[in-house]
Amino acid sequence: MISLEIKNLAKSFGFRKVFEGINFSLGEKESLVITGKNGSGKSTLLKILAGLLRPSKGEVNINLDSQIKNRGERRKLISFASPDLSLYDELTALENLEFLAKVQGLDFKPDELNKKLDEAGLKGRGEDQVLSYSSGMKQRLKYLFALLNEPKILLLDEPGSNLDEPGLFLLDNIIAEQKKRGILVLATNDKREIKYGDKILNLDQQGFSFIS
Amino acid sequence: MGTKSSTWTSRVSALFLKDFKSELRTRYSLNALVMFAVITLTVVSFSIGMFSLSSKIKSSLFWIVIFFSAMSGLAQVFIKEEEAKTSTLLKLVASPESIFAGKLLYNLVLLLFLEIVIVPLFVIMLGFSILNFWLFLCVLVLGSLGLVCATTIIAAIVAKASVKGALFAVLSFPILLPLLVTVISGTNLASEGASFSQGLRDLQILFSYAVVMFVASFLLFDFVWEE
């Protein structure tokens, strides 16, 4: 059983306070949507959860089977996808996935990766360099990367950005799968994406609301 | 999900191969390194003209060419990750230790390739004689190892700075000074045909420098790489 526990989290950049006093906990099969106006700290909070930024105050604890996981172990449990995330443009989509799998200690055969590309709507484009991809195709490829390790905790920043209708359908499936597998946290201001959460954290009011 | 079979070394080799493949397609560092080396070598060769130089001066010129070529190319290993905004992706998937080891290996291969180009050109263009080849080779390999250990960690520091410009050379020079003095001395001995035992002191210093720099860089990298 996995759980994510946030205690009294605060982040400042220099003298500018982004947020403070964030507390919540999520258990398996729970999902949280973080909302708030631009600059409220949604992406910053996700980056702290992903281990990309250190909080100024507070703790992020990840427990798997009642054991607190350290930074190295967390990397295996968490995946993060965001429009800010850049893949290697000079490599092909297949090379990107092969590298990202190998470096995480995962061993995929090219056929398996090609199948994943097909399922993500990138059939026949695996051998193309990522620099020739549209922003929507890159977004699909980022989801493939994020799902390589079948994460216990999936963090998505503005998940629907750059996606067309089939892409949004793919996102629906990814989110449905993740809700069965573990924890989902996503940051968005898109009203259509709020439905993905069981809980909503509004960083403007620093309060929770629950979707029944 | 794919099977979990990779060892630490296979992760490091994945990082190395990614950089190698990327370099072959973009020529981000290779062109800068080779062009700088060839141009410097040509300028030195023309400026010397018919003068006959001592092996001490030739050894110094040889390492000056290597040092400045390294300055122009080796920093790119981290700067290109920052500029392409792929460093976040790397942080998500790989441990700092494997990233550092992969980048170090890549820089070492790049520098050794550069030396394979420079050494014959230097011998031909400047009439540089190497009377004890094996001593020269040991000095070159140990010197390159020390140079790469120091420049890789400095590259990681510089990549985080907002003003990168000349910072790499400025930071590298004081750290590399003991290494440069020793490699010049060792190269001079090899050029004059000194025996292996006469060059042993320099080799010991180079080996110690490489070990100290490797351990210090390995320990420091985590703090440099993370926010």
pLDDT digits over A6-42, tens only?
999 999 998 899 988 899 999 999 999 999 989 889 9
Residue with tokens 């080891």: B101
Test mutation, B12, B27, B93, B223, chain A, max A CBs within 10 A: B93
Test mutation, B28, B80, B87, B92, chain A, max A CBs within 10 A: B92
Q: What is the pLDDT of residue A183?
A: 95
B-chain residues near A148 (CB < 8 A): 1-2
Question: Would B217 be classed as within a structural domain?
Answer: yes
Cβ within 8 Å of residue A159, ≥6 positions away = A81, A171, A175, A186, A188, A193, A196
Q: What is the pLDDT of residue B35?
A: 87
- Which is more confidently placed, B50 or B25? B25
- Is residue A118 scored above 60 in pLDDT? yes
Q: What is the pLDDT of residue A212?
A: 40
B-chain residues near A76 (CB < 8 A): none
Identify the domain containing residue B83 by its residue range: 9-225
- The percent of residues in chain A predicted with pLDDT above 70, rounded, is 97
Query: What value does the mean pLDDT take over residues B66-77?
Result: 85
Burial of B68 (0-12, 13-18, 19+ CB in 10 A): middle
**Residue type (1 letter), A13:** F
Cβ–Cβ pairs < 8 A, chains A and B: 88
- Which is more confidently placed, A79 or B225? A79
Query: What value does the mean pLDDT take over residues A144-152?
Result: 94
Which of B10, B86, B88 lies at the smallest CB-CB distance from A88? B86
**Residue type (1 letter), A15:** F
pLDDT by residue (tens digit) across B130-184? 999 999 999 999 999 999 999 999 999 888 876 666 788 788 889 999 999 999 9
Distance, CA of A147 to CA of A108 (rounded, Å): 13
Mean pLDDT, chain B, as a whole number? Answer: 90
Q: What is the pLDDT of residue B227?
A: 62
Give ipTM to 2 decimals: 0.89
Are B11 and A102 in contact (CB < 8 Å)? yes
Q: Is residue B191 a contact partner of residue B58, using CB atoms and an 8 Å limit?
A: yes
Query: What value does the mean pLDDT take over residues A65-93?
Result: 89
Q: Is residue A166 a contact partner of residue A121, using CB atoms and an 8 Å limit?
A: yes
B-chain residues near A149 (CB < 8 A): 1
For residue B148, what is the enclosing H or E element?
Answer: helix B133-160
Tokens of B103: 């980048």
In total, how many domains does chain B have? 1
Mean pLDDT, chain A, as a whole number? Answer: 91
Q: Is residue B139 a contact partner of residue B186, using CB atoms and an 8 Å limit?
A: yes
Q: What is the pLDDT of residue A204?
A: 83
B-chain residues near A53 (CB < 8 A): 227
A-chain residues near B17 (CB < 8 A): 99
Question: Would B160 be classed as within a structural domain?
Answer: yes
Burial of B144 (0-12, 13-18, 19+ CB in 10 A): buried
Which superfamily, per CATH, for A2-210?
A: P-loop containing nucleotide triphosphate hydrolases (3.40.50.300)
Strand-pairing partners, residue A7, are A59
Which of residues 126 through 165 in chain A touch B, CB cutoff 8 A? 129, 145, 148-150
Question: Would B24 be classed as within a structural domain?
Answer: yes
**Predicted confidence band at A188 (pLDDT cuts at 50, 70, 90)?**
very high
> Any idea how long chain B is?
227
Q: What single string gives the DSSP state of each residue in A30-82? A: -EEEEE-STTSSHHHHHHHHHTSS--SEEEEEEEETTEE--HHHHHHHEEEE-
**Predicted confidence band at B213 (pLDDT cuts at 50, 70, 90)?**
very high
Are A106 and B10 in contact (CB < 8 Å)? no
Q: Is residue B202 a contact partner of residue B132, using CB atoms and an 8 Å limit?
A: no
**Predicted confidence band at A72 (pLDDT cuts at 50, 70, 90)?**
confident
